[in-house]
Structure 1
Amino acid sequence: MRRIAVVPGSFDPITLGHLDVIERAAPLYDELHVVVVHNPDKEALLPIAQRVSLIESAVKDGGVGGNVVVASWSVGLLVDYCTDVGASVLIKGIRSQVDVAYETPMAIVNRDLAGVETVFMLPNPAHAHVSSSLVRQVAALGGDVTPYVPQAVAGFLNAS
């Protein structure tokens, strides 16, 4: 039986913290789907297609194995995507107790709805303070985001 997991997120934009979770999760599964999902509570900076493209570049540039699939999902529940691709696990990066409190109810509901378990991965301490929101704010104010994002993202944001 193939072990398939999903790393969901808005990835607006993908950060080095996100990439760290992807790089560490990829060898644990036969197939790892990195899925850009729409978050109705956030106003997006980048269109979903651009986020997918930047993730593909970051994964390729980072040398992550060939078992990573990058996709997007905006119709229905995330567990519906998991069911469609045969994934039994969601991987979530957790930076703080705030993230645990936010993610725990969703993990329980995802397990109840579709039997999909959630695995929480702690961050590399070097990236624990980084969020996409922080990167967007620094970029909007003309700051240097290169310490926080993959090279492809930094190049894209600097060109914008």
Structure 2
Amino acid sequence: MTIQKRIGLYPGTFDPITLGHLDIIKRCAGLVDHLIIGVSANPSKDPMFTLAERMDMICREMDLITDDKFTTIDVIPFETLLMHFAEKVGASMIFRGLRAASDFEFEFQMTAMNDQLNPDIETVFLMADPSLQAISSRLVKEIAIYDGEINKFVTGRTRNDVLEKLKKK
């Protein structure tokens, strides 16, 4: 009897990766054998960081993810429909983090549409840790632009990346 690996996909723009994202990644890693962090090109969001920079930031933070189950984690870019990407990488589930009711409304609609595209891929919602619920990449960038302190929302490495990027603008 062959045991099928549980492959999960956690997609996002990660512009930049926050402590909230890292918390969800760590928790996802405990639920699957192989976790794929799908980094969306998503040019419509006008990202601060290039796709390559975002992937590099995520890869550097993976040392913070400890998993006793030895889950393998890959960071892979994508520029396609999420469900097409999920099918391509063999994911049986897509993870989404929820911070507030407004997140649920959006994710509920996306899940219903994704289910129409491929009902075999489950969407799994993980509630954000209460101490991290207010964090979003958009707010981190906005706080940094106006010289606010972002230490509570991102790692030191990511904070340095954000501040360095703002110096160049």
Q: Could you state the TM-score of these two structures normalised by the residue count of structure 1?
A: 0.93
Please say if 1:123 is aligned against 2:97: no
User: What does residue 57 of structure 2 align with?
Assistant: 54
Q: Per-residue deviation at 1:57?
A: 0.8
Assess, with a 3 A threshold, how the Cα gap between structure 1 residues 66 and 4 changes in structure 2: closer, same or farther. Answer: closer
Query: Secondary structure of the residue that 1:105 maps to in structure 2?
Result: helix
Q: Percent identity?
A: 33
Q: Deviations over 1:73-108 (max 9, x none)?
A: 01x211111111110111000001100100111111
Residues 12, 38 of structure 2: 8 Å contact kept: yes
Work out which of the residue numbers 54, 78, 81 in structure 1 matches 2:85: 81
Work out which of the residue numbers 39, 43, 46 in structure 2 matches 1:43: 46
User: What does residue 143 of structure 1 align with?
Assistant: 148
Residues 35, 71 of structure 2: 8 Å contact kept: no
User: What does residue 29 of structure 2 align with?
Assistant: 26
Q: Per-residue deviation at 1:131?
A: 0.4
Assess, with a 3 A threshold, how the Cα gap between structure 1 residues 120 and 66 changes in structure 2: closer, same or farther. Answer: closer
Q: Unaligned regions of 5+ residues in structure 1, if any?
A: none
Q: Could you state the TM-score of these two structures normalised by the residue count of structure 2?
A: 0.88
Q: Alignment RMSD, CA only?
A: 1.4
Q: How many residues align?
A: 159
User: What does residue 2 of structure 1 align with?
Assistant: 5
Query: Secondary structure of the residue that 2:15 maps to in structure 1?
Result: coil
Rg larger in structure: 2
